[in-house]
């Protein structure tokens, strides 16, 4: 989730019963709700280093404890410095340090829990387990959530009682928003087999293609040795939320050799009309090849490729060979290709979520690059 939403949610929490802890509650919650993203300092050593550490230990168990203490210490020291210049006579009693620590940990935990339902995901168990986890209910920026939080902060009389009421209303709207998106996500996955129709192959493993509540990656390439030549199998199906509506979803079917993508609007009347049950929705799917050859396997050994493949949820590999025999292997994360509104938008130019590895005729890694 974006930092504006994290901050607004922290302000909303400070207007609940948590605000009675004393002076420093609001500051502690706001700082703690943003401090896990301090991993952005990793960009000082380049984009590859950032992907290596992004949403890593600062979003895991150690981050909850250490960053909770850090947020409390920052707020406590800041108020000590401010008080040296003269404490306001109407200032409320200070929250004790141990309470600031509790508030700091609450803020960090809620930051992580708001990142988990996004399709971007987070590494909630790092550094003990570096897998990414996501629930896929929310986009990285939810305009509806932002509107509710802003509206509840702006309207009404500036009294403590009114603040508590508006905070309660905001939390109810938030819960309803998450609930609607959760139900819509389930319905989108239910529709997926109908969208892809006869093009949907059998699962590589019976348990893999089923869409669970929490998705986990990176996932290894399936063993296709037992498949007939020219055949493929289904690794998983995922439903990605849109920025515009909780009822618009992008369905991604990951095959053993390609990705197929289909946009769906759950409010489309065709899905409720029995006369359209035989409609060939699958004819409008887009397909992105993902062919793993020995050259691609070699390129995957490069450091940049290893970091990207550890981050990317849907890495799609393409390969091109020049006249000298040097192969360029390029991976895109399918989550970030095409438009954010519909598949008929043009594919964007190479962005930060793309890796290019050049492999010489002798199998040596010639160059590696992340992004443009």
| Cβ 29 vs Cβ 14: under 8 Å | yes
Opening angle at CA 135, ends 317 and 18, nearest 5 = 140
What is the rounded distance in angstroms from the CA atom of residue 305 to the CA atom of residue 300? 5
Per-residue model confidence (pLDDT) at position 345: 44
Mean pLDDT of 207-232: 71
For the entire predicted model, the pTM comes to 0.90
DSSP alpha helix (H) spans, 208-367 = 294-299, 303-311
Encoding tokens for residue 19?
A: 């605000």
Per residue in 128-144, pLDDT (tens digit) is: 999 999 999 999 999 99
Residue 274 banded pLDDT, cuts 50, 70, 90? low
Do the beta carbons of residue 6 and residue 111 sit within 8 Å?
Answer: yes
Residues 357 and 338: their CA atoms lie apart, in Å, by: 22
Summarised one tens digit per residue, pLDDT across range 143-191 is 999 999 998 887 766 777 888 889 999 999 999 999 999 999 999 999 8
Which pLDDT belongs to residue 15?
A: 92
Q: How many CA atoms lie within 13 A of 293 on its CB side?
A: 14
Q: What is the mean pLDDT of residues 90-95?
A: 83
Per-residue pLDDT band at 210 (split at 50, 70, 90): very low
Alpha helices in the chain (DSSP H): 3-14, 25-34, 47-53, 61-84, 97-115, 143-154, 160-196, 294-299, 303-311
Phi and psi at residue 184, in whole multiples of 5°? -65, -40
Whether the upstream peptide bond of residue 127 has omega within 30° of 0, thus cis, is yes
| 348 — pLDDT class (breaks 50, 70, 90) | very low
Asked if 308 contacts 315 with a C-beta cutoff of 8 angstroms, the reply is: yes
Q: Average pLDDT of the chain?
A: 87
| Matching residue, tokens 């938008």 | 345
- Report CA 80 to chain centroid distance, whole Å: 38
pLDDT in tens, 291-303: 889 999 999 999 9
């Amino acid at each position: 989730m974006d930092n504006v939403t994290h901050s607004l949610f922290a302000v909303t929490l400070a207007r609940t019963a948590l605000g009675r802890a004393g002076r420093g509650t609001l500051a502690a919650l706001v700082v703690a709700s943003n401090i896990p993203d301090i991993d952005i300092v990793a960009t000082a050593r380049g984009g590859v280093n950032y992907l290596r550490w992004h949403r890593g230990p600062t979003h895991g168990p150690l981050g909850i404890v250490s960053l909770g203490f850090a947020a409390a210490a920052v707020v406590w020291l800041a108020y000590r410095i401010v008080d040296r210049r003269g404490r306001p006579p109407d200032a409320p009693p200070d929250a004790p340090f141990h309470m600031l620590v509790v508030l700091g940990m609450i803020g960090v935990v809620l930051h992580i829990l708001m990142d988990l339902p996004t399709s971007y995901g987070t590494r909630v168990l790092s550094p003990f387990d570096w897998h990414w986890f996501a629930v896929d209910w929310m986009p990285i920026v939810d305009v509806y959530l932002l509107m509710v939080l802003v509206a509840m902060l702006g309207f009404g009389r500036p009294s403590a009682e009114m603040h508590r009421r508006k905070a309660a209303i905001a939390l109810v709207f938030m819960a309803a928003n998450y609930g609607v998106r959760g139900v819509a996500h389930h319905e989108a996955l239910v529709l997926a087999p109908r969208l892809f129709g006869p093009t949907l192959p059998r699962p590589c493993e019976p348990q893999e293609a089923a869409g669970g509540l929490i998705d986990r990656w990176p996932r290894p390439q399936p063993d296709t040795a037992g498949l007939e030549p020219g055949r493929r199998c289904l690794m998983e199906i995922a439903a990605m939320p849109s920025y515009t509506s909780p009822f618009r979803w992008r369905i991604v079917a990951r095959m053993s050799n390609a990705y197929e993508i289909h946009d769906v609007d759950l409010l489309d009347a065709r899905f409720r009309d029995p006369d359209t049950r035989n409609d060939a929705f699958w004819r409008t799917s887009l397909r992105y090849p993902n062919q793993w050859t020995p050259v691609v396997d070699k390129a995957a050994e490069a450091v940049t490729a290893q970091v990207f493949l550890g981050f990317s949820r849907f890495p799609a590999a393409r390969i091109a060979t020049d006249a000298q025999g040097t192969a360029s292997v390029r991976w895109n994360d399918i989550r970030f290709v095409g438009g954010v509104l519909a598949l008929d938008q043009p594919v964007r130019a190479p962005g930060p979520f793309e890796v290019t590895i050049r492999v010489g005729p002798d199998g040596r890694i010639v160059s590696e690059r992340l992004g443009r």
